[in-house]
Structure 1
């Protein structure tokens, strides 16, 4: 990840429930300070003079409790701990509830060139939004060659060698009412250590597709905005490969094939491609089957258990008749 500064934090284009609603009220010379960790610190103990294990490299969030203590220090004309507070390389201070710090605090912040930001959100809501935003920014990333589509609510990553038909398969899925996230280059982000979010590696080309013999097409213009979305959790990988008659393919589906991306295991299906196979409808079926698995229903396992019960009943019946014949 490139350097992420306080100015970048202010410039984040987040919408609706993700909007941080930040504004800078002081310390503008320090807006180029880098944010190096995706964590927030509440500096109540530090302001009281206890700096052991102080998270000075974190964004400092000051709510009503910290603000009330700052007012108490102002009434006592005691600014020693505030001066010591600003000796640390703090990325920025953020006041929630639209709180306005007292002038002496602002003077010390200006002297230290530490940005002071303000939001009208309450502390808990702002902390949730900021943690989510920083988690996405600092999340481990990886670029994968493939096509990411949403099929029946399941994020399906279609992979395979060049020319195997990934884009054509995705185009047929879009024609059948499913949605495209991105074609060719998919940026993977590991969020919260267990979720892989896929989006376009390049926002400009994200909702375009390259079809050999046809060229570049704009999916949103051809099929409407309902045929696209910006990002989606990757929940299933479908690997397309040329049909190999010497290879034994899974015919029962009792095994769990997993592909690991950024430390997260994702269920994987290998589909052999040859003339006459309707790959899009197979992918639709795989997506619906994955939804059933997430609900706790495994078709292949149930089939296997039913076969075992049938064999056991047949063996018991045969043994019963054998004993009857003996007597």
Structure 2
């Protein structure tokens, strides 16, 4: 997300802005670094040389309140000044910080551009929640054409040329009890060294079926079949194939194939499409096969080992 601002967090978590500069309102205060900083060191006057930390938000709570309480009242403003410098995107204050009025008054006095936002819930809860949100908003994104479903707990990205049957197969998977994330336009994000898939918001809950049109999955099957996002564990590539090409298909499944996004490899299974094949059943089988392999149960390897063992005995 470009130009991710303090305003995004305020609206997302329904927070109350206690101080905002008319010169630079919260929708202009850009966040460019992942994570949050507790304000203790900044209050003491310590200044980090790590540029990557300079655009993190500041969180003030009980420990910072205790530190301020240990000072003389005449010294408050000297320490407040350290956290009201322009490079800090914003200051978030929990109920445990008892000096929000004094902080806002001084910010107004010096005409600081750093907004001060009151948080209604407590430190650990807010820090964890807002950190995840910032990570998602600043994550690298690649948009792909495909359909994303969650099958037996595995996120499966179904890809293939237009009209090959991705959406129709997805409807059958939903009827089989699996969860729908999105169709047609999927955003792939790199979060905590994992690939997470989400639907592009304009097509949320929608699926397009050729000859019928655009359908709302929630209206057809209910909200219980919808999943907001999912880690991507497997890519299924549906490939149209002619009869003479069947000899080229990997029959044993021992040819490992991968798709790479943001330097992360995701297992890829190519499923040939031809009349009479039940694609939903095949995709379910591919997921079960991957789950078994991840648990150390590889039928192909066991079969090959058995053959080698029999040949060695002879």
Q: State the shift of 1:158 in Å.
A: 0.8
Preserved CA contact (<8 Å) 2:146 2:157: yes
2:15 to 19, 22, 29: 22
Gaps of 5+ in 2: none
1:128 maps onto 2:128 in alignment: yes
SS in 1 for 2:85: coil
2:240 paired residue number: 242
1:37 maps onto 2:30 in alignment: no
How many residues matched? 305
Q: State the shift of 1:273 in Å.
A: 0.7
1:158 to 1:75, Cα distance in 2 relative to 1, 3 A: same
Q: Deviations over 1:144-195 (max 9, x none)?
A: 10111122222111101111111111122222222221111111111112x1
1:311 to 1:216, Cα distance in 2 relative to 1, 3 A: same
1:305 to 1:126, Cα distance in 2 relative to 1, 3 A: same
Distance 1:161 1:61 in 2: 48
Distance 1:103 1:2 in 2: 33
User: Aligned ranges for residues 87-166 of structure 1 at < 5 Å?
Assistant: 87-110=85-108, 111-166=111-166
TM-score (norm 2): 0.89
1:53 to 12, 26, 49: 49
1:303 paired residue number: 303
Distance 1:286 1:142 in 2: 25
Distance 2:250 2:124 in 1: 50
Q: State the shift of 1:255 in Å.
A: 2.4
When the two chains are superposed, the root-mean-square deviation of aligned CA atoms in Å is 2.0
Q: State the shift of 1:305 in Å.
A: 1.7
Q: State the shift of 1:76 in Å.
A: 4.7
Gaps of 5+ in 1: 13-19, 316-327
1:181 maps onto 2:174 in alignment: no
2:71 paired residue number: 73
SS in 2 for 1:79: helix
Q: State the shift of 1:235 in Å.
A: 0.9
2:208 paired residue number: 210
Distance 1:173 1:228 in 2: 12
Of 287-296 and 73-82, more deviation after overlay is shown by 73-82
Distance 2:195 2:125 in 1: 24
SS in 2 for 1:304: helix
1:85 to 1:205, Cα distance in 2 relative to 1, 3 A: closer
TM-score (norm 1): 0.86
Distance 1:201 1:94 in 2: 30
